[in-house]
Structure 1
Amino acid sequence: MMQDPPSVPLLVWWVVAVASTAIFLLFFVPLMPNQRYKTRISLAPLAGITFVAVSSLAKSDGLGVALPIYSSAILAFPLGFLGHRNELREKALEMARDGKQSPENGLSQGLQLQLVLVIVVMVAIGAWFSMSS
């Protein structure tokens, strides 16, 4: 039997969303090899916020549902790459140098597995917290 999630005030979810976004940016932006890549990675949270907001509006869900999902999803990426900063930096440099992604500069299987598992777990946690709203 699954336990009900705690009721978290909306203000706390705003703080968590801002903190999650800051963690994402602080983790990824310094690893990017040039301004173009820094700009692109900086836009990822905006894309996430837009997706969650539109989805919530379409389903008539409130921010109490959207913010936990956004926060957990955006935080999943730095957690998914934890311990693999060097590999990510090298792959970003290769992509910037070559101008494209190729099988030779893809992420290692270990990192891919870690990333997928962390994203699945974090999104499940976000969905669980969103059930309290």
Structure 2
Amino acid sequence: MPDKSSPVWWLFAALSAALFLALIFPAMVNGRQKAFVACGPVVALLTALAYSAVYDWSPTELLPAYCGMCLALALGLVGHRKAMRTFMTWKQENPGKPDDEGPDAPWVLQMAFTIPVFLGAAFWYIGNY
């Protein structure tokens, strides 16, 4: 792995965001949902850049956490695209209803494991390298 201040992390960040979008876009059923999802990597990057500016960190040093989050969300959906698409179709047809009234969301459990694992690994990496 490269040092946390290596510019190679920008490439990893771009690849992580592309993988996130490639895996989650097919599960969205309308343009509004796709636009909302497309904003995710941008908002996360802007948040990381704002954090680095406020706390005087190099933006490159926070990219492992950005990559970890993108990968965790993307891999949290692996194997559950059809279930997520069913849920998103239900959301489109039932606006305003609570999510717990809709169809089962099995990817939530998978994400509940991938997010802490990937972010934990990213923060460990940032702290040790």
The reply to whether TM is greater than 0.5 is yes
Aligned residue pairs, count: 128
Unpaired runs of 5+ in structure 1? none
In the alignment, residue 41 of structure 1 is paired with which amino acid? V
The one-letter amino acid paired with 2:9 is W
In the TM superposition, residue 75 of structure 1 has moved relative to its aligned partner by: 1.1
Paired-residue identity, %: 26
Q: Which segments of 5 or more consecutive residues in structure 2 lack a partner in the other structure? A: none
SS in 1 for 2:7: helix
Partners in 1 of 2:33 and 2:2 — Cα distance?
38
Contact in 2 for aligned 1:64/1:130 (Cα 8 Å): no
Residue equivalent to 2:120: 124
Q: TM-score, normalised by structure 1?
A: 0.85
Do the aligned partners of residues 7 and 41 (structure 1) sit closer, same or farther apart at CA in structure 2, a change above 3 Å counting? same
Match for residue 54 of structure 2 among 30, 33, 58: 58
Deviation at 1:20, TM superposition (A): 0.2
CA-to-aligned-CA distance 1:14-45 (integer Å, 9 cap, x gap): 11000000001111112210111111110011
Quote how far apart the aligned CAs of 1:104 are.
Answer: 1.7
- C-alpha RMSD of the superposition: 1.9
Runs (4+) of structure 1 moved beyond 4 Å? none
Report the TM-score when normalising by structure 2.
0.88
Quick check: 2:84–2:107 contact (8 Å CA) kept in 1? no
